[in-house]
Structure 1
Amino acid sequence: MDMKLELVPLPVTDVDRSIAFYRDQLGFSLDHDVQPGNGMRVVQLTPPGSACSIGFGTGWGSGTAPGSVRDLHLVVDSVEEARQLVLARGVEISEISDMGGVKYAFFADPDGNTWEFQEIPAHFR
């Protein structure tokens, strides 16, 4: 039986601000922004090349506190290139850390949910 992780819910305080961050600063595709009724709003965005999306909105979710999701990994071919891209778009991001050949750069969304760009050399795969 296949089990595919396709959506990671993120707790956020301001849906429009979060859309702007993920779409405009990180370059995620805005897949859905719908308001089915009763005050509910569902937003889904997908990182370039990913099979897994993030989702947030109003009127749904687990009630987890905004900023409580930690250490989501975006695996990239080059941490340096990814870092420079988002830095140019105004994202505050750490310097690159080399952890024995695996490289990381760390950043957070406007609510404090944390992310990492991760570069894994071919010989580690």
Structure 2
Amino acid sequence: MNWTLEVVVVPVSDIDRAKDFYAEKLGFTVDHDTRIDGGPQLVQLTPPGSGCSIVLGKGFVAMEPGSLQGPQLVVSDVHAARAHLVERGVEVSEVQVLGPSGARPSREGDDLDNVGFVFFKDPDGNGWAVQQITSRG
């Protein structure tokens, strides 16, 4: 039996502001933006190349806006991903290397496979990580 992760709910305070951030700044594709029987607005977006989407949630989830911390996006080049985010106006950390003794800034020549990260927050403070994975063993 396969167990696939398809959707992660991201709690936000302003659906339209969050939709703009994820679509315009991060480049996620808007899959749908609907209201169910006049109820809450549901917006589903998918990162490029991902099999898992996010749904922006307000009023239908028990999490407070900004309380989601730690979802991870994976890229093959964390330096290129960081440059892309900066170019689109996202406040993002410098590239860091995470290891047994904690985090340190990356240096020229570091092998970043599995250990290179950048971090950013959406407008509500939901915290995301971007990890470099160039090969899976």
Q: What secondary structure sits across from 2:69 in the alignment?
A: coil
Distance 2:67 2:60 in 1: 16
- 2:122 aligns with 109
TM-score (norm 1): 0.91
Residue 120 (str. 1) matches residue 133 (str. 2) = yes
Distance 1:28 1:78 in 2: 18
Distance 2:16 2:78 in 1: 27
1:61-104 deviation digits (Å, cap 9, x = unpaired): 2x211111111110001011111111111100000002254100
Structure 1 vs Structure 2 CA RMSD: 1.4
Contact kept in structure 2, 1:39 and 1:59, CA below 8 Å = no
Name stretches of at least 5 consecutive residues in structure 2 with no aligned partner.
100-111
Residue 3 of structure 1 deviates from its aligned partner by 1.3
Instruction: State the AA in 2 paired with 1:119.
Output: Q
Contact kept in structure 1, 2:75 and 2:134, CA below 8 Å = no
Contact kept in structure 1, 2:77 and 2:134, CA below 8 Å = no
Contact kept in structure 1, 2:92 and 2:118, CA below 8 Å = yes
Name stretches of at least 5 consecutive residues in structure 1 with no aligned partner.
none
Residue 80 (str. 1) matches residue 79 (str. 2) = yes
**Structure 1 residue ranges (4+ consecutive) displaced by more than 3 angstroms after TM superposition:** none
Contact kept in structure 1, 2:76 and 2:132, CA below 8 Å = yes
Residue 121 of structure 1 deviates from its aligned partner by 4.1
Stretch deviating more after TM superposition (33-42 or 105-114)? 33-42
1:4-52 deviation digits (Å, cap 9, x = unpaired): 1100001000000000000000000000101122332111000000000
- Please list, as runs of the form range in 1=range in 2, the aligned pairs for 1:1-125 lying within 5 A after superposition: 1-61=1-61, 63-100=62-99, 101=112, 102-122=115-135, 125=137
Distance 2:117 2:23 in 1: 21
Q: How many aligned residue pairs are there? A: 123
